[in-house]
Amino acid sequence: MASQALTTISLTSLPKLSQGKVRDLFSLPGNRTLLFVTSDRISAYDVILKNGIASKGQILTLLSAKWFEILSSRIPDLKHHFITLTPPPAPGVVTPDEQRMLRGRSMVVRRLKIFPIEAIVRGYVTGGAWLEYEENQTIHGLRLPAGLQRCQQLPQPIYTPSTKAELGEKDINISPAEARAIVGDKYATRIEELALACYRAGAAYAEERGIIIADTKFEVGLDEKTDEIYLVDEVLTPDSSRFWSKEDYQVGRDQDSLDKQVLRNWLTANGLKGKPDVEMPPEVVEKTRDRYLEVYERLTGQTLEAALKALEE
C-alpha cells in the first residue's frame, strides 16, 4: 500500500521563493542555485485537486533526472538546469528530517531566467489539438494536411506553444508567431529548435521501450550572463506528456494513456472539469499512480523502490 501523499512542503531551513501547482522553489545559499521540490499534488485542467498521489513527486523528479541524462547523451551541446539529486550540496543547510522528506523529490538546479511560454511539441493529433483540427484543419493556427484521423501521427512533429499562466489562471494556446512576439526574435527560433530536438530524441528513446510520446511540454530558461538557452523544469513526465503503449496503439480512437488522462477522463465524465476543491476517490488515485509507476519503470528500467534505495548508497 502506498504511503500518504505529501501535498505540503514545509522547510524551515530555506526561504521559499514560490509555489506552483506541483512544485515549490526554495533559495539556496549563494544565490546561484535553487532547490526544486516536487510535491505529490496533482492538477488537471489547470486546477489542483484536493488530495494527491503518493510518491508522485519522486516519480516525476527521478524520471526527469533520467531524461536529463538521456537527452544530454543524444543532443550535442544540450544545456539543462539540473545539477544533482542530493539536497542540497552544502552540509547543514537542511535538517535530517527535511533531508528524509526531500529524498527523491528534490533537485538542485541552476538559477535562470524562465521564458513565459510553454514549449509544447506534438507528434500526434489528440486532445484539444484534435478538436481544433476537426473544426479547422489547424493546430494552434498551423494548417495541416486534410484527412488526418484521431490520434494519428503527424507528418512531422510540430511546435505549438502556449502561454505560461500564473497559479490559478489558465494557459492559452498560441501560434509560434505569437510566441515569437512574447520571447523576442533573438530567442524564438532557438527555443523552437531545442523543443523539437528534445522531443525527437525522447520519442526515439521511448519507442525503443514500447512507449509512444504523443505530445509533451518543455520549459526553457536563459543564462543572462552567457546568453545560453537551458532546458528546465520537469522533462517528459506523465504530468507533462501523453504516453501511449506502442503495443496497444490504434489510429482512429482515443488511446489508453499511461499518464494523468485517467484523472482527466474521470473529471470530465463526472462534470467536474475545471472545478475547484475536487477530491479524487481512492480508485482514481490508485489507477493514476499505477500508470505513473508503469511508465516510470518502462522508461528507466528499474523500480521506484530501487531508485530510491540507490540514493541512500
Question: What is the tens place of the pLDDT at every residue in 21-73?
Answer: 999 999 998 889 999 999 999 999 989 999 999 999 999 999 999 999 999 99
* 34: in domain: yes
* 311: in domain: no
Q: If you average pLDDT over every residue of the chain, what do you get?
A: 94
* 205: in domain: yes
167 lies in the same domain as 42: no
Nearest to 221 by CA among 98, 108, 119: 119
Boundary-marking domain end, from 111, 126, 158: 111
**Residue 158 reports pLDDT greater than 50:** yes
Range of the domain at 235: 114-265
**Residue 80 reports pLDDT greater than 90:** yes
41 lies in the same domain as 105: yes
30 lies in the same domain as 122: no
Residues 6 or more apart whose CB falls under 8 angstroms from that of 4 comprise 54
pTM higher than 0.85, yes or no?
Answer: yes
The pLDDT assigned to 167 comes to 65
Phi/psi at 134 (5° precision): -55, -40
171 lies in the same domain as 239: yes
- CATH number for the domain harbouring residue 246: 3.30.470.20
pLDDT tens, residue by residue, 199-216: 999 999 999 999 999 999
Let me know: does 173 contact 119? Beta carbons within 8 Å. no
* 78: in domain: yes
Which of 3-12, 164-173, 214-223 is the most confident on average? 214-223
123 lies in the same domain as 94: no
**303: pLDDT confidence band, cut at 50, 70 and 90?**
very high
* 290: in domain: no
Distance CA 7, CA 209 (A): 31
165 lies in the same domain as 245: yes
Number of domains in the chain: 2
Boundary-marking domain end, from 82, 111, 140: 111
242 lies in the same domain as 188: yes
179 lies in the same domain as 249: yes
138 lies in the same domain as 238: yes
Phi/psi at 180 (5° precision): -60, -40
The pLDDT assigned to 217 comes to 97
Q: What is the mean pLDDT of residues 74-89?
A: 88
132 lies in the same domain as 253: yes
The pLDDT assigned to 16 comes to 95
107 lies in the same domain as 119: no
**Residue 1 reports pLDDT greater than 50:** no
Q: What is the mean pLDDT of residues 229-235?
A: 98
Question: Taking the CB of residue 152, how many other CB atoms lie within 10 A of it?
Answer: 15
* 24: in domain: yes
- CATH number for the domain harbouring residue 55: 3.30.200.20
* 287: in domain: no
The pLDDT assigned to 2 comes to 57
* 278: in domain: no
Phi/psi at 114 (5° precision): -95, 130
137 lies in the same domain as 18: no
